[in-house]
Amino acid sequence: MNTLQKKLLYSMKKIRQVELAIAAKYSEQQMRCPVHLSIGQEAVAAAVGACLEKTDSIVSGHRAHAHYLGVNGSLKGMIAEIYGKVTGCSKGKGGSMHLIDKSVGFMGSTAIVGGTIPVGVGFGLAIKKLKQQHVACVFLGDGAIEEGAFYESANFAALHKLPVLFICENNEFSVYSPLEVRQPKQRLISEMVAGMGIESAQYDGNDVELIHQVTTAAVQKIKAGQGPQFLEFATWRWLEHCGPNEDDDLDYRCQKSNSKWRDRDPVQIFEKKLMDQKLVSESEIKDLHNSIDIEIKAAFEFALTSAFPTQEDLFEGIYG
């Protein structure tokens, strides 16, 4: 494996294993906040994260664990945050839906759909005004495309040719509502965005190396001053919109699609590809799995043994 493949494999497996660990422990009722897990959507986060640098500015939405981990945001900080501890990345004020780790360029994720799109574009404006060679990256979903904030922000980014990378994960569902009750069937998101004057394309969101390749090219274009780039990736969330469980029994997604996408497990596809090419052995993958589990165990221990914020902390930080 080359360095990049190692990084992508580690990153995807870590996201998967962290999310599974959260799902497994959620019923203990100690993580007392909503969680939107990213199982099934690991490839985009891992690949895009590998294209970004610490000096870039990344924002995301409610389903942000993967994006945060994809740029190597502090795992201990995230788990402690979900447990509501003072050692959490937001000191227990934000929970799963408000993650931040500025040391790696992850500038914040928030819960209102589309809410960070203009903020990300604002980071792009600052980068341009301050004449920096960085990129602002906005993670958004197919639901956020329907928000007015998206059109307003995309228009402004195009108008000023801002250094903004839009990464749209299209998992076809806004909670239980399918794309066809929300957007015209024949209209592709990427084509519509192209119509707004932003270079756009659509790709498979479960092929991590492809995602890395096209995102690298997009970042290069942005840094060359060619303006914002929009990449749409087709993918699928495996679990319920919010919470630790599967919900295929509710039948809001057709079983054919569910099984089609589960057969296209981005983590397994990549592992198999690397093994087929004899770049990694089954035992090496197992070792990687175990070492990630040790990391996760340490993060949960850190979270569980950390202190809660005190009542004095309640009024801290209302003003900056």
Cβ proximity to another protein: between 128 and 264 the closer is: 128
Question: What is the C-alpha to C-alpha distance for residues 68 and 262, in angstroms, rounded to an integer?
Answer: 23
Q: How far is the CB of 177 from another protein (least distance, A)?
A: 20
Candidate list 17, 110, 206, 235; residue touching another protein; CB under 8 A: 110
| Residue 112 engages another protein in binding (rule: CB under 8 A) | yes
Q: How far is the CB of 178 from another protein (least distance, A)?
A: 25
For residue 200, which phi and psi values (nearest 5 degrees)? -140, 155
Question: What is the C-alpha to C-alpha distance for residues 272 and 267, in angstroms, rounded to an integer?
Answer: 9
- DSSP annotation of 71 reads T
Closest to 169 in 3D by CA, of 187, 189, 184: 189
Tell me which stretch binds another protein (CB under 8 A): 65-73, 82-90, 232-240, 281-289.
82-90
Which CA distances in Å does 284 have to 99, 278, 280?
32, 11, 6
Cβ proximity to another protein: between 225 and 320 the closer is: 320
Upper half-sphere CA count for residue 15 (Cβ side, 13 Å): 31
Question: What is the C-alpha to C-alpha distance for residues 82 and 166, in angstroms, rounded to an integer?
Answer: 27
For residue 19, which phi and psi values (nearest 5 degrees)? -65, -40
Question: What is the C-alpha to C-alpha distance for residues 233 and 205, in angstroms, rounded to an integer?
Answer: 4
Cβ proximity to another protein: between 120 and 266 the closer is: 120
Contact 115, 126 (CB under 8 A): no
Cβ proximity to another protein: between 198 and 269 the closer is: 198
| Residue 54 engages another protein in binding (rule: CB under 8 A) | no
Candidate list 45, 74, 78, 123; residue touching another protein; CB under 8 A: 123
Question: What is the C-alpha to C-alpha distance for residues 265 and 236, in angstroms, rounded to an integer?
Answer: 9
Candidate list 90, 170, 215, 229; residue touching another protein; CB under 8 A: 90
Tell me which stretch binds another protein (CB under 8 A): 4-12, 108-116, 176-184, 230-238.
108-116
Tell me which stretch binds another protein (CB under 8 A): 34-42, 121-129, 237-245, 262-270.
121-129
In the complex, which residues of this chain contact another protein (CB under 8 A)?
57, 59, 88-94, 98, 100, 107-108, 110, 112, 115-127, 129-130, 136, 148-149, 152-153, 155-156, 159, 316-320
